[in-house]
Structure 1
Amino acid sequence: MAGNQFAVYQLREIPENRKKRFRSYAELQKEHIQIRYTDYKQVYRSWMRYDEIPDNI
């Protein structure tokens, strides 16, 4: 039986990320604050239930 997985990522808690935490992507773009995948860490991963869609997770 195949299934889909999902993961949740959060900004690493380091001083360099202080300006980015709890702000929307649109706000960061407006202020020209760059987003890098290395700034994030995976904090959770699980299988999706058959009745779940990404918008509900």
Structure 2
Amino acid sequence: MRYEMRLLDTGWTVWDTQTNTPVSVSGRWQTGLAIDGAEFLLHRLNEQKQDGLKPGM
């Protein structure tokens, strides 16, 4: 999968394995998230990628 979750000191981060950076949605890094929010975003992004859609929320 292109996107994964990583636990950092500040909380959960949704990570883009292709760019090796945190995911940015609407100009905001997706870091310091609660596990529920990170899981939701992770599944959404990976589903969009599998469907051939450009991830962009």
Could you tell me the TM-score, scaled by structure 1's length? Answer: 0.22
Q: Please say which structure displays the higher CA radius of gyration.
A: 1
Q: What TM-score do the two structures reach when normalised by structure 2?
A: 0.22
Higher RCO by CA contacts (8 Å cutoff, separation 6 or greater): 1
